[in-house]
Structure 1
Amino acid sequence: MSITYTNYLKVDELLKLQQLKSSPAEHDETLFIIIHQTYELWFKQLLHEFGKLNRELKSANTWTAIKTLRRILTIMKTLVSQVDILETMTPLEFNSFRKFLGQSSGFQSLQFREIEILCGLRFPLMKDAHKDDEAHLKVLEQRMAEPTIWESFGEYLTQKGYPMVIERENEHGLLYNTSQANQDVLIEVMQNNAECAIVCELLVDFDEGLQEWRYRHVKMVQRTIGTKKGTGGSDGVKYLQKTLNHCVFPDLWEIRSKF
């Protein structure tokens, strides 16, 4: 069989994956499914790009690391913009099929947990949401053993002549405590190495983009279900609001006031 657009992209199979649970079928459930399936595809691409970014940083390849970070940032903007589409669905339209979702919840997104892990985050919910799925737990544990972006960045700067000491010191939030010694290194980098400084700023851009996505997600949930419990019994908005100010590269933020 020759390669065609349809069979290469598995279009026929793809278009059969939107299987509604509502009965009778509710119009907006199709949108809900497509948006979240699209998120998972972009999460897959982000994880793919994180792998490349870590390799480029560990090899001290500045410009390919920058190129990869720029792609990651563009994907993050796409994730944020997709919230606009979800917000065209009113609370009444969402509630017309919400009861059919059972115990499913965005908290159960394995790939988003992988993204958080590679960003250096750790908290009990990461495993709790997957405690009944051994395959998922194995994936999470494998990710937790991998270098984080911050660790790879520290190795990158060390190879550039700016030694960073990064130790895993926390298992109940962000893995790393802020470090005055590392902040001093980062200030020197920002003042004396323009290329490395670009990488620093792009990491801040990513951190800000992740916080922006969390904010838009929280407000979307809040306008859709208010303060009600989330699907699957989660705390919904109450929990999501706690995550809003979780920066993943705090030392890069701390140095802002020191110039």
Structure 2
Amino acid sequence: MTKPYDPEGEGARMSFDGAMSYGDYLQLDKVLNAQAPISKAHDELLFIIQHQTSELWMRLAVHELTAAREALQGADMRPAFKMLSRVSRIFEQLNGAWDVLRTMTPSDYTTFRSSLGQSSGFQSYQYRQIEFILGNRNRAMIRPHAHRPDLAELLEAELDRPSLYDVALRALHASIPLPETVLRRDLALPHADDAAVVAAWTEVYRHPEQHWALYELAEKLVDLEDYFRRWRFNHVTTVERVIGFKRGTGGTGGVSYLKRMLEVELFPELWHLRTGL
């Protein structure tokens, strides 16, 4: 009889008394015991894991976007490009997650929806932080976090910082001057489409060999917004498929609210310039 394979014979460590194991490093006891369904519905675990894993990916997105914004303000902006590419891939992962959630039918969801109370993804502070970093800024969106002063303070602080696109525009300004109205705008408000910015980015696209770093930055930003838009669209489609046009558990209009978000442009000039090239 063939002796069973024992990986220890090839050097694999099999005893972890007093040593850090895989589960220890990842703190899997905490992670895998963080799911606490309230109902007895089979699909509630899917719903919880979908949203918890999304929050983990968003945590990484915040980490990468924050680092990218800092890198764009340095002497060499190129390290930011990898970080921005990574965020695009993160949103690709988040897009794929909707495919799993869409296996939950309306009948499945109604078996535990009442257990959610008024909790809603609308209240995700990390998602709001990502939107603020990307430039979709609205102080009213901090109010759902007023009961958590630490989170409200975190989001308020973000409104005092330049958005990722503000930093990109300052990098653009270093090569192609922009109006003071663009450079000294109220940071707490979203950036408004500006003809001078369209003209500056158009110059980059017409002569990429002269502005290669800015050209690459522009495409990284377009990639990011592309994946972000897809995530929003998939969100709308999933919600409509599961609850139709019911109001969201957090009190929003549900699908109507999400469709309004589809109209938001994060980096408007980078899209508008294409018509005139």
> CA RMSD of the aligned region, Å?
1.6
Alignment of 1:46-125 (within 5 A): 46-123=61-138, 125=140
Q: Give SS of 1:157's match.
A: helix
Deviations 1:214-251 (A, max 9, x none): 11001100110001111122211111111112110001
Q: Which amino acid aligns with 1:8?
A: Y
Which entry has the higher C-alpha Rg, 1 or 2? Answer: 2
- Matched to 1:256, the amino acid is R
Equivalent of residue 36 in structure 2, options 19, 30, 33: 19
The alpha-carbon deviation at position 80 of structure 1 amounts to 0.7
Whole-angstrom distance in 2 between the partners of 1:97 and 1:143: 35
Equivalent residues in 2 for 1:182-201, closer than 5 Å: 182-192=197-207, 193-201=211-219
- CA apart distance, 1:188: 1.4
Corresponding residue number in structure 2 for 1:40: 55
- Give the 3-state SS of the residue equivalent to 1:228 in structure 2: coil
CA contact (8 A) 1:101 1:231 kept: yes
Deviation (angstroms), 1:60:
4.2
Give the letter for the 1:7 counterpart.
Answer: D
Pick from 232, 238, 241: which aligns with 1:220?
A: 238
**Range that drifts further, 11-20 or 188-197:** 188-197
User: Are residue 158 (structure 1) and residue 173 (structure 2) matched?
Assistant: yes
| Partner Cα separation in structure 2 for residue 80 and residue 6 of structure 1 | 28
Which whole-Å CA distance do the structure 2 matches of 1:94 and 1:61 have between them?
Answer: 49
The separation in 2 between residues aligned to 1:227 and 1:125, in whole angstroms, is 24
**Normalising by structure 2, what TM-score?**
0.87
1:4 deviation in Å?
1.1
Structure 2 residue runs without a partner (length 5+): 1-17
TM-score when scaled to structure 1?
A: 0.93
Asked if 1:9 is matched to 2:23, the reply is: no
Greater Cα offset, 87-96 or 150-159: 150-159
Number of residue-to-residue matches in the alignment: 254
Structure 2 match to 1:207: 225
Q: CA deviation at 1:125?
A: 4.3
Percent identity, aligned pairs only, is 37
Q: Distance in 2 between matches of 1:78 and 1:35?
A: 11
The answer on whether the counterparts of 1:79 and 1:213 sit within 8 Å (CA) in structure 2 is yes
- Give the partner amino acid of 1:3: M
Q: Which ranges in structure 1 are unaligned for 5 or more consecutive residues?
A: none
What's the secondary structure of 2:111's corresponding residue? Answer: helix
Which of 137, 140, 145 is the aligned partner of 2:152? 137
Distance 1:230 1:19 in 2: 21
CA distance 1:124–1:238, change in 2 (3 Å) = farther
Q: Contact between 2:57 and 2:90, CA under 8 Å: does it hold in 1?
A: yes
